[in-house]
Chains A and B, each alone.
Chain A
Amino acid sequence: MKPALEVVDLVKQYPGVRAVDGVSFAIAAGTCFGLLGPNGAGKTTTVEIMEGVTVPTSGRVLYHGEPLGRRFRDEAGIQFQKTALQDFLTVRETLQMFRRLYPRGRDVDELIALCALEQVVNRDNRKLSGGQLQRLLLALALVNDPQVLFLDEPTTGLDPQARHNFWDLIRAIKAEKRTVLLTTHYMEEAYFLCDVVAIMDRGRIIAEGPPSRLLKEHFDDVVLEMPREEFPGDPSTFPLPVLVAGDRLEISTADVEQALRALLDRGVPLRQLRIRPRNLEDLFLELTGRELRT
């Protein structure tokens, strides 16, 4: 079965910078694919080429094995990271306008219910909160009942409650077997929603696969976290690898009992100690050697 979306040797050259440098990957139909990377990694350029709004220098994008065309335009739903809407139009009027741009699509009332917009349906676009606006933008992306959905950092700037609410919406869409391409800075979000992630840096894909498999391939240890002030003396003299990140201190180990013994031997109190498995953010640091940039 052909993948829903496939990019082949994608290159985008801007004056003085190669934003995308020979990227290839495929997204199976009905899956959620996460494209992760720090700012400037080239993921937005890659996604915009896949959306058909930016022309690549070279390379191809295929939708069900065919170059992007009318079928893609009719079947793709796109939520840009930032989109201004027309002033003085209400949520319902905006949805109705976009709905009329497509030959087929979802009923506007159905979208309003799906994206929990009932309370603001007659509100001017300008008066929506951040979460309400993101839900409206998602509804606009769904207005043509898309087979493939592009979500570019859809939860940036949302509070935790709004973000979790948004995740529930995306899971409902996933349950309908739609193909989703998600870019995000939130590793927790990618882990929670994506079947497969690809990590980009400097225009290239540096890792790709299901999050759990990637973590298993790159890590066999866990992290012991504690406040820096609880750890006496110089961390570099500790027998295990120690990373000081601000006011936190992280110890990496595959043998938790040994690490605990070494901490107790050093007289470190364990009352604020937290043991956690490796996550995608650790993978980021491991692969890019940098803090995740937001």
Chain B
Amino acid sequence: MNLRRLLAVWHARNLEFLRDRSTLAFNVVLPLVLVIAFAVIFGGQPRGEFDIGVVAPPGAALDVRLHPFLGTRFVDFHRVEVPELDAAVRKVERHETDLLLDLRAAPRYWVNTDSPKGYLAEKLLLESARDAIRQPVSGAAVGYVDWLLPGILGMNMMFSCLFGVGYVVVRYRKSGFLRRLSATPVTALEFGAAQILSRLALSVGVTTMIYAVLALLVPFHNSGNALLLFVTAVLGATCMISMSFMVAARFLSEELASGIINLVSWPMMLLSGVWFKLEGAPHWVQLASEVLPLTQMLHAARAIMLDGAGIVDVLPRLAALAGMTVLFLGIAAAGFRWRAD
């Protein structure tokens, strides 16, 4: 091996990498984004051993002044608003919350008689609220697989939608294929619609196939309407493809487009609840996650599959997806460029 030759090639490659600013920026920015995102999501106070929902009188803080039990250490108390009471009870039924406590009048609590952690949380409660009114509920825990499945399928769709359109459109532009199409009667709208429909059919088709295979191989929970779930998948995929088309509407560099799409996809993967719930994350993070298409799709899909939600329940989520799709396509159509120069 000749060291001089090796160093010459090494030096040239370093220059190439350092001068490709978009790739360099991506290599620097992505790890930073990941570390910061994880720090924000998982930072702050250590998680308690038990998760207890509390319905409190208006304006009351969740502390010992309201009830001595709220001073118990190593327990996470989270506020439950009155309109959310039914949903909170369902969480107790599914073992997602260990106990639900209503302190608006005489203490009243819901506990799942099948839940080991619920049993222990109840023991703790009764230490300081012996005469609390018991509302027993029952129900099997939602397995992690049941909860994770929509996330995994959604994530797969997200990558397929984002990279299958954005990267390809930029490549078409850079190679001059778009310029050639611009000399035909094809409009930007027709071209965009063709790209979206092609990827939509592929993405939803593949996801449906995987879902069917998994249904045969891995027993998982779906108490909702399959057609509504399919509609949710179609709307979610359309929204994410439109988002990718918007990113690709003007860019000329495949590397830059790839970097931007990565920058979009990673936060979605972290903040949309693919792998874990965001309930322990700061409130503003949870709010921010609502603007992500994957969040809307996963919330709707999980509500359908795990809670048996109907069209009325998930309509706000589906409307959000449709609204974002229109917004993304509008921006893409306004800024679309056929040529690379």
Do B183 and A78 have beta carbons less than 8 Å apart?
yes
Closest CB in chain A relative to B253 CB, distance in Å = 16
Residue B221 CB within 8 A of the other chain:
no
Q: CA–CA, A80 to B181, complex, Å?
A: 11
Do B176 and A82 have beta carbons less than 8 Å apart?
yes
Do A102 and B184 have beta carbons less than 8 Å apart?
yes
Closest CB in chain A relative to B244 CB, distance in Å = 19
**B177: chain A residues within 8 A (beta carbon):** 83-86
Task: Given the known inter-chain contacts A53-B338, A53-B339, please indicate yes or no for A83 contacting B176, CB distance below 8 A.
Answer: yes
Residue B182 CB within 8 A of the other chain:
yes
Q: CA–CA, A84 to B180, complex, Å?
A: 8
Task: Enumerate A52-67 residues with CB–CB distance to B below 8 Å.
Answer: 52-53
Do B175 and A84 have beta carbons less than 8 Å apart?
yes
Closest CB in chain B relative to A253 CB, distance in Å = 46
Q: Beta-carbon contacts of B66-106 to A below 8 Å, as 1s and 0s? A: 00000000000000000000000000000000000000000
Task: Enumerate B165-194 residues with CB–CB distance to A below 8 Å.
Answer: 175-177, 179-186
Q: Beta-carbon contacts of A149-173 to B below 8 Å, as 1s and 0s? A: 0000000000000000000000000
Do A80 and B176 have beta carbons less than 8 Å apart?
yes
Name the residue of chain B whose CB is nearest to the CB of A84.
B175
Q: CA–CA, A200 to B179, complex, Å?
A: 24
Task: Given the known inter-chain contacts A53-B338, A53-B339, please indicate yes or no for A84 contacting B176, CB distance below 8 A.
Answer: yes
Do B185 and A102 have beta carbons less than 8 Å apart?
yes
Interface magnitude class on chain A: 20 to 34
Interface magnitude class on chain B: 10 to 19
Name the residue of chain B whose CB is nearest to the CB of A86.
B177
Do B183 and A51 have beta carbons less than 8 Å apart?
yes
Residue A73 CB within 8 A of the other chain:
yes
**A85: chain B residues within 8 A (beta carbon):** 177, 180
Task: Given the known inter-chain contacts A53-B338, A53-B339, please indicate yes or no for A73 contacting B185, CB distance below 8 A.
Answer: yes
Interface residue from B179, B185, B186, B339 paired with A83 (Cβ < 8 Å) = B179
Name the residue among B175, B183, B185 with the largest chain A CB count within 10 angstroms: B183
Residue A101 CB within 8 A of the other chain:
yes
Q: CA–CA, A117 to B175, complex, Å?
A: 23
Do A53 and B179 have beta carbons less than 8 Å apart?
yes
Task: Enumerate A73-101 residues with CB–CB distance to B below 8 Å.
Answer: 73-74, 76, 78, 80, 82-86, 98, 101
Closest CB in chain A relative to B161 CB, distance in Å = 20
List of 7 A-B pairs having minimum Cβ-Cβ separation, nearest first: A84-B175, A78-B183, A101-B184, A83-B180, A84-B177, A73-B185, A84-B176
Residues in chain B within 8 A of chain A (CB atoms): 175-177, 179-186, 338-339
